[in-house]
Amino acid sequence: MNDQDACGTVTVPQAGRALGLTRHGAYEAAKRGEIPTMRFGRLLKVSKAWLASVLNQEERSNGSSQRKEQGNG
């Protein structure tokens, strides 16, 4: 395991990619406060825990909408 894997954060572009955003879109979302960030000097980081929470929430909502489309919800 390298240092980056052990870290509890990702960069803004990495978080944006996971959310389907461009690099610019991710930084704009962070600027608006839609992606919460931690600043270390000039470096902005996003919590992996927050990102996982958002992705799990999205996955659950997509799953429930798919069940409704199939008539099982």
The residue extents of the domains of the chain are 7-65
Bridge partners of 43, per DSSP, are 40
Q: How far, in Å, CA of 64 to CA of 61, rounded?
A: 5
Q: Tell which wins on pLDDT, 62 or 9.
A: 9
- Whether 12 shows a pLDDT value over 90: the answer reads yes
Q: How far, in Å, CA of 19 to CA of 35, rounded?
A: 10
Residue 33, number of CB atoms within 10 A of its CB:
8
- Whether 22 shows a pLDDT value over 80: the answer reads yes
Q: Tell which wins on pLDDT, 61 or 49.
A: 49
